[in-house]
Structure 1
Amino acid sequence: MDANQLADKLAQRLGAEQIVRDETERALFGMDVYEAAKFVPALVVRPGSTEELAAAVRMITAADFAVVPRGAGMSYTGGYLPVSDRSVTIDMSRMDRVLEINRDDMYVRVEAGVTWAKLHDALSDTGLRTPMWGTLSGLRATIGGGLSQNSIFFGSGLYGTTADSVLGLEVVLADGSVLPTGSAAVVGAQPFMRWYGPDLTGLFLGDTGAFGVKATATLKLILAATETRFLSVAFEESTSLYAAMAALAREQLVSESFAFDPGLQQQRLKRASLGSDLKALKGVVTGQGSLLKGVLEGAKVAVAGRRFMDDVKWSLHATVEGRDADYVKRMADRARAICVQHGGREIENTIPKVMRGTPFGPLISMLGPVGERWIPVHGLMPLSQGPRLQAALDALWAQHADAIAQHGIVVGQLAVTVATNAMLLEPIFWWESDRLPLHDRALGAEFVANLTDFPANPAADALVHMLRKAAAELFLAHGCTHFQIGKSYPYRQGLRPEAWRVVEGVKALLDSECRVNPGSLGLAPGTNRSV
């Protein structure tokens, strides 16, 4: 069966308007934020329900095509890029319903194409939220994508990753069957509990869609915080900063704890002033619990602008929250004391305040301040290992300092703590080179019109690629793990043989002909890319 024949068959089940045949449109689905794949999907299919998704997967794999699931397309490690011209991309954007909010049993069930912002809005009047409640790209990023890649941010300082909030899934397997996991796998049971025997749910979290296509997810609910305080602290060097972040994490004091190095701060401050951003101010005003408090906090942000960062080298930003004002104050005071003990100097808390006030802002960070290309690479390590890994990264940048300067590449770094046991270090690169059509589509014509159109810069592109690969190898040598494994990070190379045999065995059981997202996790021979 060729692509046109398959398209006709899929159209009979889903409707012709849900099958994308246009080559220009299909090409966009062969790109991520970093690069365009060698292959363009033969078709793009947009199912609108679990039943349609299951039928589509069954038809596609039976026709000897690969199935490649895609959420919002905001990732950058090749996770949804096709590795052959006989690939069909499953666009999950139509499966965006919040199916059930169960206040009595404290769970929410959603289709995988729901964005974090949409879920946040759906829960806004309930007094409830999920423990980890969104990524920075949550305006577009989907819950299914977050579960496939694993992800962090809002709430991660206390509650860990997206995966830690999951109770169960419905997954469409390669043959089109629908697998329920967690307590929903029990005949007649609700999806109220993750644990019943072996954790089948965990197999499909962080798999980049290699084992199946997530159709629905059930997430825990907790009571939303009613009191919030913010803390920003300047540090002269990274060792003290990482020690403070680790101490905050161990004592479970903060819902988010993130830090910028001087390079990342410089890039952030090139953008419009935080104090002059009316949308940010509106978010601060409306997010403070009372109008008077909101107006006062908004005024502080406007007055502070960004001048408070002028003499800051490394900066730590944290959010403390809870349901009792006295308790939150004590926690914030303790967090402040820890930072001071480690040599920190408190500064204006505009950055965490604005980020909480507008948690799902425009996706402008996928490019630099004036339109430069942007790409990160990251590693996760134990809390105590931040200084050791930072020294190794600093040595890597020093080794290539002349080439970095020659090509005008800017290197910055983000650090984030994850629950009580992990820290993420994420080097970020900006360089002048041409944008991808995906950038223009995601950001919109009005925003793109104000950016610089840089010419192609293959020499700088190649240097950034080499630096990312070197950083990934450095992370591997230091025993780090990763989110967003996709087809980029050396997952297979880093696993012990015993673990890899289990991964291969699961793939063989669920998808013996490797029809579901071949190449992810290095499971298809010859298709695993290097970073």
Structure 2
Amino acid sequence: MTIETQARPAQDALLGKLRAALGNGAVKTDPAALAALASDVYGTGGLPLAALRPETVADMQEAVRICAAEKLAMVPRGGGASYTDGYLVPRGGHVIVDTGALADIAIDLENAIVTVGAGTTWAALKAALDAQGMRTPFWGPFSGLAATVGGSMSQNTLSHGSTAHGISAQSALGFDVVTASGEVLVTNAADTVRFYGPDLTGLFTGDCGALGIKVRVRLPLLPALSAFEALSFAFDDFAAYHKGMRLAQLARLDDSHFGIDLALSQGQIARQEGLNARLQIAGQVWRRSPSKAKAIKTLLRMAVAGENPMRAGAFMGHFIVEGFDAQDAAHRARHLRQLLGGIGREIANTVPSFVRSVPFAPLFNILGPGGERWVPLHGVLAHDKAVAFDGAFRALLARRKDDMDRHGVWIGTMFSPVGPSGFLYEIALYWPDARTAYHDTVLPQSHLAAIATYPAAPDARAFVDVLKNEIIAEMQAFGAAHFQIGRAYPYRERLSPGAQALLRSIKAELDPDGLMNPGVLGL
């Protein structure tokens, strides 16, 4: 009798307990479904024993108690758009804990707080808050159709609202976390205040689920502002682009901004700028403009500019400036134009207008514009390191050019602000290769039928992995920090010995058997 055969009765008994506690529909063991859950955007891990989808916090607590009693590793999964092995366990045999059913939204207008289930998507939260004329400070990444609030707090992310209000973690007031004991730990002593004594909420931001499973998140509310200006600027080189973005970050005139290079502008971004997208933009501009005269002026400027301004520079910066009214938005936009004048040149605002009208686009970009495989990686750099890193990165690409050409690898870059002092440099790698079960599950068949398919390319995949790690090492050499750490970026080894000891002690207190997402953060 094999070890696997011996283990099967124990596994069946465990699954029986979980089904009895959660219901048959909340315990998934279908091999095809588990194979899809064993992959993320980039990698593939070991096969899970099961996927659990608790419908209530009490169900989550009971599931955790059952798994902990059996010493079974538990790995939380939100929207699933990780590309850093965040929910992949190499050895397999774990349970995936899908938080998607925890999607309640409780809006407290009097106290300006919203409490959401950790599995709530940012798109669902925005829709609920739009109806009340409210928003959260940070209000979601570009992947917000799938990305969950709990996942974004566990991984740390940025995009909408980040210039004015910082990353996802900075908008959290508090969490309810189910720890490995099955107890609910409430991180803030008062619902309305995060910084009431030591910041226990901050301890659980960016933890990748290593310290527990988030089940509720409390966020502050702000009035949503309908008046806005969308602006775009082109820059001829990275040094000029970085200079302009640094000044914009310090001024904090916009709600959010991001930058892309020519490769992404002509590839991933341009793919979304087809006729349907342009018509959608036009409709949104018409409906959201404070006056029809202003709408006509904006649409005429976009029509005259056409597509060429998207290719008017090596790097493009795109801004969404909000105001209390049209005059306030125009005033801020005018100051931004003055700030960037002489550094870049203004171009058509098609891209930020599209992002404003469709902030959460479908996840088509998890494959390249030609159906290629895709993986992004990033580093958050100090401003005085950004230009030097760009030079070192370009030198690395030059050294690897022959290998990249041989394997069909190409790159694009994107940039975002992290408060006034951090500069996020994101690199996207593309290469021709077969899709995984993840892509075939997440993307609609209509989209997959319209793009190219490729045979498996293990040599190209292996080279991309080497190149990816070389780029991360280069980022580390320049002191970069990272979000979405998962199992891809070094963290624990960057800490001082004392900080490492403290982290291990916290992990041991909350998760003495090391069952919560083992391996992330280097734990």
Tell me if both proteins adopt one fold, taking TM over 0.5 as the criterion. Answer: yes
**1:259 matched residue in structure 2:** 259
Pick the aligned partner of 2:158 from 152, 157, 178: 152
- Measure the CA separation in 2 of the matches of 1:289 and 1:61: 56
Q: Could you tell which deviates more after superposition, 260-269 or 156-165? A: 260-269
User: Contact 1:260/1:314 (CA < 8 Å) preserved in 2?
Assistant: yes
The alpha carbon displacement at 1:276 in A equals: 4.0
User: Contact 1:246/1:384 (CA < 8 Å) preserved in 2?
Assistant: no
**1:212 matched residue in structure 2:** 212
1:330-349 superposed Cα distances (whole Å, 9 cap, x missing partner): 2111111121132x111001
Provide closer, same or farther for how the CA distance between residues 142 and 290 of structure 1 changes in structure 2, counting only shifts above 3 A: farther
**1:464 matched residue in structure 2:** 464
**1:528 matched residue in structure 2:** none
Correspondences of 1:169-248 after superposition (within 5 Å) = 169-184=175-190, 191-248=191-248
- Measure the CA separation in 2 of the matches of 1:29 and 1:57: 19
1:310-356 superposed Cα distances (whole Å, 9 cap, x missing partner): 332211111111213333222111111121132x1110011001101
1:172-219 superposed Cα distances (whole Å, 9 cap, x missing partner): 0001000011134xxxxxx11112211111111001000000000001
**1:317 matched residue in structure 2:** 318
User: Contact 1:275/1:303 (CA < 8 Å) preserved in 2?
Assistant: no
The alpha carbon displacement at 1:371 in A equals: 0.8
**1:30 matched residue in structure 2:** 38
**2:70 matched residue in structure 1:** 63
**1:436 matched residue in structure 2:** 436
Question: Does residue 1:87 correspond to 2:94, yes or no?
Answer: yes
Pick the aligned partner of 2:52 from 45, 48, 51: 45
Provide closer, same or farther for how the CA distance between residues 311 and 515 of structure 1 changes in structure 2, counting only shifts above 3 A: same
Provide closer, same or farther for how the CA distance between residues 269 and 250 of structure 1 changes in structure 2, counting only shifts above 3 A: closer
Question: Does residue 1:327 correspond to 2:333, yes or no?
Answer: no
Provide closer, same or farther for how the CA distance between residues 402 and 123 of structure 1 changes in structure 2, counting only shifts above 3 A: same
**2:5 matched residue in structure 1:** none
Give the count of matched residue pairs.
514
**1:352 matched residue in structure 2:** 352
- Measure the CA separation in 2 of the matches of 1:414 and 1:253: 20
User: Contact 1:83/1:518 (CA < 8 Å) preserved in 2?
Assistant: no
- Measure the CA separation in 1 of the matches of 2:222 and 2:384: 30
- Measure the CA separation in 2 of the matches of 1:9 and 1:434: 38
1:102-152 superposed Cα distances (whole Å, 9 cap, x missing partner): 111111000000000000000002121101111100011101110110000
SS at match of 2:508: helix
- Measure the CA separation in 2 of the matches of 1:436 and 1:111: 30
Q: Could you tell which deviates more after superposition, 52-61 or 256-265? A: 256-265
Correspondences of 1:111-510 after superposition (within 5 Å) = 111-184=117-190, 191-268=191-268, 271=271, 273-277=273-277, 278-289=279-290, 297=298, 301=302, 304-342=305-343, 344-510=344-510
The alpha carbon displacement at 1:2 in A equals: 2.6
Which residues of structure 1 form unaligned runs of 5+?
185-190, 524-531
SS at match of 1:502: helix
- Measure the CA separation in 1 of the matches of 2:449 and 2:253: 43
Task: Compute the TM-score of the two structures, normalised by the length of structure 2.
Answer: 0.95
- Measure the CA separation in 2 of the matches of 1:256 and 1:107: 22
Pick the aligned partner of 1:77 from 75, 84, 87: 84
- Measure the CA separation in 2 of the matches of 1:487 and 1:287: 42
**1:106 matched residue in structure 2:** 112
Provide closer, same or farther for how the CA distance between residues 289 and 215 of structure 1 changes in structure 2, counting only shifts above 3 A: farther
The alpha carbon displacement at 1:296 in A equals: 5.9
Provide closer, same or farther for how the CA distance between residues 119 and 269 of structure 1 changes in structure 2, counting only shifts above 3 A: closer
User: Contact 2:164/2:255 (CA < 8 Å) preserved in 1?
Assistant: yes
Task: Compute the TM-score of the two structures, normalised by the length of structure 1.
Answer: 0.93
Q: Could you tell which deviates more after superposition, 219-228 or 260-269? A: 260-269
Provide closer, same or farther for how the CA distance between residues 296 and 69 of structure 1 changes in structure 2, counting only shifts above 3 A: same
Provide closer, same or farther for how the CA distance between residues 292 and 311 of structure 1 changes in structure 2, counting only shifts above 3 A: closer
- Measure the CA separation in 2 of the matches of 1:165 and 1:459: 42
Pick the aligned partner of 2:16 from 2, 8, 23: 8
1:466-518 superposed Cα distances (whole Å, 9 cap, x missing partner): 11101111111111100000011011222222221111111011001101100
User: Contact 1:281/1:302 (CA < 8 Å) preserved in 2?
Assistant: no
- Measure the CA separation in 2 of the matches of 1:298 and 1:50: 49
The alpha carbon displacement at 1:83 in A equals: 3.5
- What code does the residue aligned with 1:319 have? I
Q: How high is the sequence identity, in percent, across the aligned residues?
A: 37
- Measure the CA separation in 1 of the matches of 2:497 and 2:126: 41
- What code does the residue aligned with 2:483 have? F
User: Contact 1:3/1:43 (CA < 8 Å) preserved in 2?
Assistant: no
- Measure the CA separation in 2 of the matches of 1:84 and 1:263: 37
**2:27 matched residue in structure 1:** 19
User: Contact 2:47/2:93 (CA < 8 Å) preserved in 1?
Assistant: no
SS at match of 1:94: coil
User: Contact 1:286/1:357 (CA < 8 Å) preserved in 2?
Assistant: no
Pick the aligned partner of 1:96 from 70, 81, 103: 103
- What code does the residue aligned with 1:153 have? S
- Measure the CA separation in 2 of the matches of 1:435 and 1:12: 36
1:290-318 superposed Cα distances (whole Å, 9 cap, x missing partner): 66755664565456442322332211111
**1:526 matched residue in structure 2:** none
**2:3 matched residue in structure 1:** none
- Measure the CA separation in 1 of the matches of 2:304 and 2:99: 43
Provide closer, same or farther for how the CA distance between residues 270 and 153 of structure 1 changes in structure 2, counting only shifts above 3 A: closer
The alpha carbon displacement at 1:163 in A equals: 0.3
CA RMSD of aligned residues (A): 1.7
SS at match of 1:360: coil
- Measure the CA separation in 2 of the matches of 1:54 and 1:63: 15
- Measure the CA separation in 2 of the matches of 1:291 and 1:329: 16
User: Contact 1:284/1:358 (CA < 8 Å) preserved in 2?
Assistant: no
User: Contact 1:106/1:222 (CA < 8 Å) preserved in 2?
Assistant: yes
- Measure the CA separation in 2 of the matches of 1:495 and 1:216: 29
User: Contact 1:284/1:356 (CA < 8 Å) preserved in 2?
Assistant: no
Which residues of structure 2 form unaligned runs of 5+?
1-8
SS at match of 1:72: coil
- Measure the CA separation in 1 of the matches of 2:141 and 2:303: 25
- What code does the residue aligned with 1:232 have? S
- What code does the residue aligned with 1:253 have? L
- What code does the residue aligned with 2:262 have? P
SS at match of 2:139: coil
